[in-house]
Amino acid sequence: MLRHRNLVIGAVLALAFLLAAVVSLFWTPFDVAEIDIANKLKKPGDSIYLFGTDHFGRDILSMIMVGARTSIAVALVAVGIGMLFGVPLGLAAASRHGGVLDELIMRTNDLVFAFPALLIAVMITAVFGPSAINAIIAIGIFNIPVFARLTRGAALSVWQRDFILAARVAGKTATRISLEHILPNLLNLLIVQGTIQFSLGILAEAGLSYVGLGAQPPTPSWGRMLAESQTMISFAPHLALFPGFAIVLTVLGLNLFGDGLRDYFDPRIRRGSR
């Protein structure tokens, strides 16, 4: 069955990189901070370096592992920020549907959406200087409206259901209803969107550090590895290939996983008649 295959493949890929990231906390084949010019630009497989070495003689495999840590950390926190602020805003907006608060929240969302994301990221980092933290903030900010909008939309439809009336007859406040009845019914949706945003976050982080606005050296990051390898792609393609594949596979994994989850959560029964 297609949907389950997605789920499995995705999970496997995503977990693989998660694992790499975790392992890198305790062990990497080589020290990524150590520079060894004598061994620079070794091709994959020759000598002890499985994926070869970069222009400073650092072990690519180790850098990929630590890079995974960077990407995942940044993306994860960014999504966290998005959910932390976006979901409550969305719930609030929905519970006061058509009210001033609703209007205000939605307009602010539109405003943020009106800004080209990368630009804001560039400016934020131009103001506060480039760093992983600022990358997180930049990406996080753009996750807020995403979740706010999603939550509001879904919450509104839940508000229409009769069991909300029942709760209101029981004299429950909007806030309480939002937490007791609305939120639990949005969880699936949020989890799915979460994984999608997570993968987007990884792409965004790669993009930012590619233009030099992400985590700063010596901390390895996939995006910067690509940027640095760019001039050498013609004689040392492995420098560009491994980080590239790392990004593609991680994102692919997360997306597949997300889709898999979606299908898993709602097996589309309402097809055909009725």
Partner 1 sequence: MKRTFSILIAAYSIFCGVANAARTDIVVGMQLEPPNLDPTAAAAAAIDEVVYANVFEGLTRFASDGSVIPALAKSWEISEDGLAYTFTLQSGVMFHDGSVFDANDVKFSLDRARADDSTNAQKQLFAGITDVVVVDPATVTLTLEKPNGALLFNLAWGDAIVLSPDSFDKAKTAPVGTGPFIFSKWVQGDRIELSRNTAYWGEPAKLDKATFKFISEPTAAFAALMAGDVDAFPVFPAPENLAQFDADPRFTVVVGSTEGETILSTNNKQPPFDNKLVRQALAHAIDRKAIVDGAMFGFGTPIGTHFAPHHPAYVDLTANSSYDPEKSRALLKEAGFTEGFSTTLKLPPPSYARRGGEIIAAQLRAVGIDAEISNLEWAQWLEQVFRGKDFGLTIVSHTEPMDIGIYAKPDYYFQYDNTGFQALITDLEAEADPARRTEMMQQAQQMISDDYVNGYLFQLAKTGVANADIVGLWENSPTQANDLTAVHWK
Partner 2 sequence: MTLLHVQDLALSINGTPILRDIDFSLTAGQVLGIIGESGSGKSLTAFSIMRLLPPGSLVSGRIALDGDDLGARTETQMCELRGNDIAMIFQEPMTALNPVQTIGDQVAETVRIHRQVSRAQARQIAAATLERVELPNDQFPLSRYPHELSGGQRQRVVIAMAIALRPRLLIADEPTTALDVTTQAQILLLLKKLVAQDGMSLILISHDLAVVAHTADTIVIMRQGRVVEAGDTQRVLAEMQHPYTRQLFDASGHVPVRSAMSTGREVLLKVQGVSRDYPTPRKTLLGKPGFFRALERVSFELYRGEKLGLVGESGCGKSTLTRAILGLEACQEGSISIGGDQIAAGQLMPRAVRRKMQVVFQDPYGSFNPRHKVGRLVAEPFYILDQQPRGTARRAAVSAALESVGLTADDASKYIHEFSGGQRQRIAIARALITRPELIVLDEAVSALDVSIRAQILDLLSELSADHELSYLFISHDLTVVRAVTDRILVMKDGVIVEQGTTEAVFQKPQHPYTRELIAAVPVLEPAS
Partner 3 sequence: MLRYILKRLVSLAMTLLVASIIVFLVIEVLPGDPASYMLGLNAQPETVMALREELGLNASKPVRYFTWISGLVTGDFGISYTYRTPVAEMIADRAVISLPLAVYALVLSTLIAFPAGIIAATRRGSAADVSIMGFSQLGVAIPNFWFAMILVTVFAINLRWFSAGGFPGWETGFFNGLKALTLPAIALALPQASILARVMRSSLLDTLGEDFVRSARAKGLSVRQTLWRHALRNALIPVLTIIGLQFSFLLAGAIIIENVFFLPGLGRLIFQGISQRDLIVVESVVMLLVFAVVVVTFLVDVAYAVADPRLRSR
Measured from the CB atom, the residue of 182 and 202 that comes closer to partner 2 is: 182
Name which position in 8, 19, 23, 33 contacts partner 1 (CB under 8 A).
33
52 to 71, contacts with partner 3 by CB under 8 A? none
Does position 251 interact with partner 3 (CB under 8 A)? The reply is yes
Q: Which does 206 bind (CB under 5 to 8 A by kind): partner 2, partner 3, partner 1, none?
A: partner 3
Q: Which does 270 bind (CB under 5 to 8 A by kind): partner 2, partner 3, partner 1, none?
A: partner 3
Does position 241 interact with partner 1 (CB under 8 A)? The reply is yes
Q: How far apart, in whole angstroms, are the C-alpha atoms of residue 257 and residue 227?
A: 28
Q: Which does 3 bind (CB under 5 to 8 A by kind): partner 3, partner 2, partner 1, none?
A: none
Measured from the CB atom, the residue of 118 and 156 that comes closer to partner 1 is: 118
* Span near partner 3 by CB under 8 A; candidates 53-61, 67-75, 175-183, 247-255: 247-255
By the criterion CB under 8 A, which residues form the site for partner 1?
33-35, 37, 40, 55-57, 126, 129-131, 212, 216-218, 230-235, 237, 241, 245
By the criterion CB under 8 A, which residues form the site for partner 3?
2, 107, 110-111, 113-119, 122-123, 126-127, 199, 203, 206-207, 210-211, 223, 226, 230, 233-234, 237, 240, 244, 247-249, 251-252, 255-256, 259, 270-273
